[in-house]
A = this chain, B = another copy of it.
Amino acid sequence: MDSIAFRPIGIIHSPHKRSEEIPIQPVYAGGIQGRAELFPEYADGLQDLNGFSHVYLIYHFHKTTTSRLIVTPFLDDSPRGVFATRAPCRPNAIGLSLVRLLRIEGCTLHVEDIDILDDTPLLDIKPYVARFDSRADARCGWTEEVDEATASKRGLRQHGRACGDA
């Protein structure tokens, strides 16, 4: 099928300069701050966003050069189908992170709990709407076998394993 072209709408900045050191998810990047810098031509689209405490950032895993269907995720040691993980080495290198929105200044979103590499191209911003996006009753597959202490430790990437794409 034909490919679909998207164009960055901004750039994400964070303290994470090397992909192998990024926390694997915003919840394990507690307190780490960064910025999503929207290009000025899109500024009007930010109206009303400051009422939201959390936003989804959708972005391009621009440093990911390989795609694999079976990956060993950071949270455990078993190979898993890539669609059952959030690993970056996916057929389409699209990232999704739910971050806390601290404030908006001009075209800059100041965000917290950021797990995204510095200089990442931003593709979209969507508000987190609890009534759409929260599922209290969710079953979470293999991730439920990982206890919280292990998840917190591995989530911070202290154990130093890279994801093949790093």
Give how many copies assemble into the complex: 2
Say whether chain A's binding surface is mostly helix, strand, loop, or mixed. Answer: mixed
| B138 and A82 within 8 A (CB) | no
| B8 and A94 within 8 A (CB) | no
> Given that A6-B6, A60-B4, A143-B129 are contacting pairs, would A69 and B44 also be in contact in the complex, using a CB cutoff of 8 Å?
yes
A159 proximal to B (CB < 8 A): no
**Partner pick for A6 among B4, B53, B128, B131, CB 8 A cutoff:** B4
Give the contact-size bracket for chain A.
Answer: 35 or more
A148 to B124, CA, bound (A): 27
Interface residues of A in 121-166 (CB under 8 A from B): 121, 123-144, 148, 151
| A45 and B69 within 8 A (CB) | yes
> Given that A126-B83, A141-B49 are contacting pairs, would A132 and B92 also be in contact in the complex, using a CB cutoff of 8 Å?
no
> Given that A46-B81, A70-B47, A86-B126 are contacting pairs, would A53 and B137 also be in contact in the complex, using a CB cutoff of 8 Å?
yes
What are the residues of chain B within 8 A of A128 when measuring CB–CB? 135, 138, 140
| A47 and B9 within 8 A (CB) | no
| B142 and A91 within 8 A (CB) | no
**Partner pick for A123 among B4, B7, B54, B143, CB 8 A cutoff:** B4
A50 to B118, CA, bound (A): 33
